[in-house]
Amino acid sequence: MPLTVGLKGRAEALVTEQNTAAAVGSGALPVFATPMMAALMEKAAAAAVDSCMEEGQGTVGTHMDLSHDAATPVGMRVWAEAELTAVEGRALTFSVAAFDEAGPIGKGVHIRFIIQNEKFMAKANGKVGK
């Protein structure tokens, strides 16, 4: 499947004690943590293009510009939606948004790069011992 603007992905989760701001250290309250919302947005973006990757390819997140606009308590379902808005060589730009059962909770722009998995891991693992 070719990479085309308009591809969409979705990811969802249940807010539990483990993904709250208090648990991950991004705040003191038991509400859905901003870093976990960012991760959910990344998961949705990756899902939008995973089926377009060739054997041995993947994507990695390189930039996230987001706002977290509403708190979500433990027990509510949250989800993120991503839409591919630009393809520039290996750079993929997504519009991302997150929601809970009461409405929108965040939005932003996310950039991912297409990588060769083995080459990427070899470079990352090459840092060990330096």
Annotated catalytic residue within 12, 16, 20, 42: 42
Find all residues with CB under 8 Å of 121, minimum gap 6, and list them. none
- Catalytic site includes residue 68: yes
Active site residue 110: no
Q: What are phi and psi of 121, to 5 degrees?
A: -70, -35
- Residue 41, helix vs strand vs coil: helix
* Annotated catalytic residue within 68, 72, 81, 110: 68
Report the Cα–Cα distance between both ends of the chain, in Å, rounded: 40
Catalytic option among 4, 12, 20, 34 = 34
Annotated catalytic residues are: 34, 42, 68
